[in-house]
Each structure stands twice: as C-alpha cells, then as structure tokens.
C-alpha cells in the first residue's frame, strides 16, 4: 500500500492528520525539518508514522519524500511559529509549495490536498502566497483538493491574538457583530482525511466553517456563560487596522493585520451542502470554551 505524505506534520493540524491516518490503518510519511522539535518527532513515530527529513526550501528533499506516495496532504506554513524574516516567510512557502507540486507531478501522486483559507479583501503576503499556490495547483494537472477553512477557534479565540479568556479580556476587531463560522483544528484535520479518494473532493475547493456562525461579541457571551464571569471587551477599529497595514513593512506583521481586517468583515459559511458530502460532527464554540475554561 502506498503512503500518504503529510507536510507540516509537527503542527497541530498536521499531527492530527497523521494520527487519524494511522488509526485508519493507512501508511503515513511525515515530513519533518532537521530543526523540528524532537519531542514532536518522537510523537509522530509513536503513532506509527515513517518520519522523513525534508524542507519546503529544499526541492531535492521533496522529490525524495514524494517517492512511493499516493497522496500529499499539506498544512505547513511559515506563520506564525516557523517565521524567520530572512529564511522562512510566506514567499518561501509559496516557492516551496510550487516545488512540492512539481515533485508530486513527477512522482505520479494521485491526490494533492492543500490547506489554504478563504479569499479575503485585503492584499497581504500570506494571502498572496496562498492564492498563487492554489493557482499553481489547479494548473498542475494533479487531482487536487483545496481546503479553505475560516478562522481557527484555537488560535483566534485564544490569548495570542487578544482573546485572553484566562483573564476575561477580549480584543475584538471591528464592530464584532459579523457572524463568523469558527472552525476547530481537529475538524480541519478530519476534512483533510475525509477528502482522500472522496469524489466530492476531486478537483474541488471547499470553504470550511464550523457548525454555527457566531459574532465575536456573541463568542464573548458564550465564554461569559461558561465561565460565569463578565469579560472586558476592547474594540480595535477597522481604520486603525488599515493604518497598521499601510505602515507595516514586515511580511508577518502585514499578514497578521490583514487577517485581523478580514476578521472584521468575515462572512458566515453555509456548511449544509458540504456536510452532506462529508457527514462529520463539528466542534462548537461552546464545546471549545468548556474545554479551555474548565
């Protein structure tokens, strides 16, 4: 049985994809860099994954990794953890993914699953990279699946971006009144695995959200209900974000501000049709809140 190559295997979504594939009895190759956290590498080995060393910046390593592979599933991103201004940026992601697509073509890979995000209004480096890779994948001749999950609840409803639930404080971008279909890391992994060999995923671009659309202010109410204490809410005006985007020079800063701007106007995602093709039970914001507030 040919293997499934997971690129980004040490990340939250990538590691969960490896786990789900292993549980399903499917051979897994996990691509890791030489600088990857040894504990995460050992965890992948404990799941039964075959660990192969490689890097999106090293085309030869990608060719070697793709040998004997039937499907490639990618979740790797320079942002935010792996970002290095001179070595690992959205532009190097883009170049690396285009090299990976070429390696997959050469190896005769049957399906390429790329994790992206929905088109957003502002132009910023991370979005420009995602759109360029999507275009390259669609033109490659490979059977492709492009996953476009909206805002991850574990990231955007967490302290790193101002949703400081341990201290009952929340920064809200824009008015906070637009419903957002927050999605869980684990559910994105499940969609990726469910896409393999699925006719509904063949040459498809799938907008992904959670089971319900809740405004950021509505999310605050959910956390207040779960935790039993009020939150202090600070609004960051759209005009302030636009000014930050115009003045930013660093690709990571530009990209974070661009994502915040898009959060302020993100539309809800209707999952009705998608869930008919992929009958998964998705995690709710309240379930997430209970898991972190307990």
Q: What is the pLDDT of residues 194-241, one digit of tens each?
A: 999 999 999 999 999 999 999 999 999 999 999 999 999 999 999 999
* DSSP notation for 51-69: EEE--TT-HHHHHHHHTTE
Residue with the two structure tokens 């991850």: 152
Contact between 27 and 63 (Cβ < 8 Å): no
d(Cα 128, Cα 178) in Å, to the nearest integer?
24
Q: What is the pLDDT of residues 22-50, one digit of tens each?
A: 999 999 999 998 888 899 999 999 999 99
Q: What's the average model confidence in pLDDT over 190-195?
A: 98
CATH number of the domain at 3-149+185-208+269-281, out of 3.40.50.970, 3.40.50.720, 1.25.40.10, 3.40.50.11540?
3.40.50.720
User: Would you kindly state where each structural domain of the chain is located, as residue ranges?
Assistant: 3-149+185-208+269-281
Compute φ and ψ for 191, nearest 5 degrees.
-65, -40
What pLDDT is attached to residue 2?
85
Task: Tell me how far CA of residue 20 lies from CA of 14, 108, 243, 250, in angstroms.
Answer: 10, 24, 43, 36
* DSSP notation for 251-288: HHHHHHHHHHHHHTTPPP---HHHHHHS---PPPHHHH
List residues bridging with 147 in a β-sheet.
Answer: 115, 206
Nearest to residue 151, comparing CAs of 129, 184, 173, 103?
A: 184
What pLDDT is attached to residue 252?
87
Compute φ and ψ for 213, nearest 5 degrees.
-105, 120
Q: What is the pLDDT of residues 126-181, one digit of tens each?
A: 999 999 999 999 999 999 999 999 999 999 999 999 999 999 999 999 999 999 99
Residue with the two structure tokens 């009958």: 279
Q: What's the average model confidence in pLDDT over 100-107?
A: 98
What pLDDT is attached to residue 162?
95
What pLDDT is attached to residue 51?
95
Expressed in percent and rounded to 5, the helix, strand and coil fractions of the chain are 45, 20, 35
Residue 247 reports pLDDT greater than 70: yes
Q: What is the pTM of this model?
A: 0.95
Portion of the chain with pLDDT greater than 90, in percent: 86
Starting at the edge strand that comes first in sequence, how are the strands of the sheet with 50-53 ordered? 50-53, 28-32, 3-7, 69-74, 111-115, 144-149, 204-208
Residue with the two structure tokens 């295997």: 9
What pLDDT is attached to residue 1?
64
Starting at the edge strand that comes first in sequence, how are the strands of the sheet with 232-236 ordered? 163-164, 169-173, 232-236
């Amino acid at each position: 049985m040919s293997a499934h190559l997971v690129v980004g295997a040490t990340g939250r979504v990538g590691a969960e994809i490896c786990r789900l594939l292993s549980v399903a009895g499917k051979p897994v190759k996990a691509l890791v860099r030489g600088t990857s956290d040894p504990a995460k590498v050992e965890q992948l080995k404990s799941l039964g994954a075959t660990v192969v060393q490689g890097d999106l910046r090293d085309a030869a390593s990608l060719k070697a990794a793709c040998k004997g592979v039937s499907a490639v599933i990618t979740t790797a991103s320079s942002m935010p953890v792996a970002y290095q201004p001179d070595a690992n940026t959205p532009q190097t992601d883009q170049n690396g993914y285009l090299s990976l697509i070429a390696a997959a073509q050469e190896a005769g890979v049957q399906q390429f699953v790329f994790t992206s995000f929905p088109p957003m209004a502002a132009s910023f480096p991370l979005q420009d990279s995602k759109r360029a890779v999507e275009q390259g994948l669609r033109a490659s001749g490979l059977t492709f699946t492009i996953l476009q999950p909206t805002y991850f609840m574990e990231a955007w409803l967490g302290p790193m971006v101002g949703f400081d639930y341990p201290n009952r404080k929340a920064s809200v971008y824009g008015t906070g009144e637009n419903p957002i279909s927050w999605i869980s890391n684990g559910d994105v992994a499940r969609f990726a695995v469910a896409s393999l060999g699925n006719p509904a995923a063949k040459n498809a671009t799938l907008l992904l959200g959670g089971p319900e659309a809740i405004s950021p202010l509505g999310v605050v109410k959910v956390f207040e209900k779960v935790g039993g204490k009020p939150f202090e809410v600070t609004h960051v005006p759209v005009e302030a974000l636009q000014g930050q985007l115009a003045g930013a020079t660093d690709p990571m800063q530009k990209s974070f501000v661009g994502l915040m701007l898009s959060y302020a106007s993100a539309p809800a995602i209707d999952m009705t049709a998608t869930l008919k093709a992929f009958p998964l039970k998705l995690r709710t914001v309240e379930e997430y809140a209970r898991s972190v507030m307990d």
